[in-house]
Chains A and B, each alone.
Chain A
Amino acid sequence: MNLENSAHLFRAKPNAARRAERGIFWLFRLATYVVLLSGAAVFANIIFKGAGTVFKTEAPFINTTFLTAAPESLYVFEWQGQKREMGDHAFRAFKQQHPEAANVKAESFVYSAGGIFPCIVGTVLLVLGSMAIALSLGVCAAIYLNEYARDGAFIRFVRLAILNLAGVPSIVFGLFGFGMFVIFFGWNVSLLAGWFTLAFMVLPVVITASEESLKAVPKGFREGSLALGATKWQTIRKNVLPYALPGILTSSILGIARVAGETAPIMFTAAYVVRDKMPWEVEKFSDFFLQGVMALPYHIYVVSSKIPQNEYTERVQYGTAFVFLVIVAVIAMASILLRNRLRNRYKW
């Protein structure tokens, strides 16, 4: 072979395989962009429309009423040639100040004034309680399945059941929770009933992910520990679980987003359309667990479908959705930080 020929040996020549390669590459790239764009569109829409409710143009730039007050009715009326918007409390005070306004004709829009503080509190309580239950049950089950149980027909059946549970629609969990906790256990519509319903809903995710995390801990850690005369439980507690924890937390982040966002499981079990008292305003301690709460996703559902729609309700809808996204992001970020800290402490 002479030099002149070999210079052309690796030069690119167009052919069918090359064209197919480029085409396929663009197809995959486009698919990714479509996904990305849809996500961005949803977020942009909520942020754009919700920011108007949550932020203000003058100091302190955040609509504190929206974040710290309970929902109330909005009254819209004309006063001395000007269009005024007032919440229920403000409107009554206004009428006392101006007796001549007693008979002013005001349009009222339910839930369109005030804020969503009780919903924020309710959602945070629901998330904390249900994740606590789901994690303790789920991690225990995962430890049993992965460390103790010997593989057999029964264990395979249990795994199949867990997988199936993951596919059950959330409304079915809602109905189950209603029948089981609300009616049969007599807990009524309460935090407790909501906690358990939501916990059962995320349990499959938590169990599966915890099992994966436990599997990822090298066998050598277990053998080394057992060979030093540790019992199985000592081995798990000191030499397996700490190293699986970051992975378990990662899975629970997904669980948090789901628990916070699901409406169907809580609509029969834990959520109130409106409640005047805050959750801590209870007479005795046990009442705390047996009270219903307002919740962000359910509030969005109510203001979007249960009351007449207009420009005022739209503000609440998007404002609530915006706050909801921020809360989920904050909880998720806190979990990620915790996970990273644990990862740095327990890495191998």
Chain B
Amino acid sequence: MVTAVHAVMEPLSPSSAAEKPTPRLAAAQPAAAAPAKPGAPAATHLIDIDNLDFFYGASQALHGINLKIEHQKVTAFIGPSGCGKSTLLRCFNRMNDLIEGTRVARGTIKIHGVDIYQPDVDVIELRKRVGMVFQKSNPFPKSIYENITYGLRLQGRNKKSELDEIVERSLRGAALWDEVKDRLDQSGLGLSGGQQQRLCIARAIAVEPEVILMDEPCSALDPVATAKVEELIQELRTRYSIVIVTHNMQQAARVSDRTAFFYLGKLIEYADTRDIFTNPANPQTEAYVSGRFG
């Protein structure tokens, strides 16, 4: 089963497939590779959530969620606090595993058709492919360079020239290179709030994930820093699939292609962002996006 995850995911992550070819997986590829060509319009949905019930202990946080997240699009989750949007996001890389008493009671989450809650799934491999940026920016108290290379060193990639190259590429990718290129050896904590969050994004893209999950990445940032992160999301969308949880409806409207509205642990409406904000099908969605509650 684990090899199946590798096999199905490998073709869609071109760079990592190129950098570390694994013969065993390569052998398994031909069968799986055919339907999953990057950019092919017929590509199946990246993340397929089917009838998901999720519990924190005895209290149910998600009720029968059905949702298909598309490849290389920005998907926004909106909804009032406690509606389950962050919970769902943290299911995609199984970060909820860290919280005691959480469980998927029913339903499945499939990434490339592989149910990620099966017991034989390699969570480490999953998290390498599904990166995450947190609400509170959490650069490690290490140098900027070490922050970026953290995930790579975990994989045993320690070659200086390779790391240098990835650090530059990731920081450029996160629109941070010009601001920090002269102080890569200084602590990541010395950066401003917005820079810290972009550093976290750079750290996430350094390991070449396929999906980047963003949990209210701008909620602690001022408008200027927020604008920069939003610009960055616009650039990243060409190479990564992004799922962003946000409280800021304007932000969802600005950055996303698809928007899902959650309320009380249920998915109320999921449609193209333009439709959600201009022509919502559900009266609850309309009430929320027009600011009448939430």
Report A's interface with B, CB cutoff 8 A: 150-151, 218, 220-231, 234, 238-239, 243, 346-348
Q: Could you mark each residue 176-205 of chain B with 1 if its beta carbon is under 8 Å from any beta carbon of chain A, else 0?
A: 000000000000010000000000100110
Instruction: Determine whether the beta carbon of B141 is less than 8 Å from that of A229.
Output: no
Q: Is B124 an interface residue, CB under 8 A from the partner?
A: yes
Asked if B100 and A228 make an inter-chain contact with CB atoms under 8 angstroms apart, the answer reads no
Number of A-B contacts (CB under 8 A): 65
Give how many B residues have a beta carbon under 8 Å from the other chain's beta carbons: 25
Asked if A227 and B154 sit within 8 Å, CB to CB, the answer is: no
Smallest CB separation, A312 vs chain B (Å): 57
| Cβ contact within 8 Å between A220 and B150 | no
Q: Quick check: A223 and B128 within 8 Å, CB to CB?
A: no
A residues near B45, Cβ cutoff 8 Å: none
B125 at the interface (CB under 8 A from A): yes
Residues of B within 8 A of A238 (CB): 150, 154
Q: Given A228-B151, A228-B203, A231-B124, are A223 and B134 neighbors across the interface (CB < 8 Å)?
A: yes
**Interface residues, chain B, CB within 8 Å of chain A?**
93, 95, 98, 100, 124-125, 127-128, 131-132, 134, 136, 138-141, 150-151, 154-155, 189, 200, 203-204, 207
Q: Once the chains bind, are A239 and B155 in contact (CB under 8 Å)? A: no
Minimum CB–CB distance from B26 to chain A (whole Å) comes to 21
Q: How far is the CA of A90 from the CA of B140 in the complex (A)?
A: 65
Q: How far is the CA of A227 from the CA of B95 in the complex (A)?
A: 7
Knowing A223-B98, A234-B154, A243-B141, the reply to whether A229 touches B136 (Cβ < 8 A) is no
Contact B95 A223 (CB under 8 A): yes
Residues in B with CB closer than 8 Å to A228 are 127-128, 131, 150-151, 154, 203-204, 207
Tell me, rounded to whole Å, the shortest Cβ–Cβ distance linking B279 to chain A: 36
Cα distance A220–B150 in the bound complex, in angstroms: 14
Additional A-B contact list (11), CB under 8 Å, known A229-B207, A238-B150, A346-B141: A218-B138, A221-B140, A224-B138, A224-B203, A227-B93, A229-B125, A229-B128, A230-B150, A230-B151, A238-B154, A348-B141
| Cβ contact within 8 Å between A239 and B140 | yes
Residue pair A224, B200 in contact (C-beta under 8 Å): yes
Q: Please, how many angstroms separate the alpha-carbon atoms of A223 and B137 in the complex?
A: 11
Write out the residue numbers on chain A whose beta carbons fall within 8 Å of the beta carbon of B141. Answer: 221, 243, 346-348
Q: Evaluate contact between A227 and B131: CB separation under 8 angstroms.
A: yes
The interface residues of chain B lying within 8 Å CB-to-CB of A218 are 138
Q: Given A234-B154, A347-B141: A224 and B134 within 8 A (CB)? A: yes
Closest chain B residue to A222, Cβ basis: B98
How far is A238 from B155 in the complex, measured between Cα atoms in Å?
13
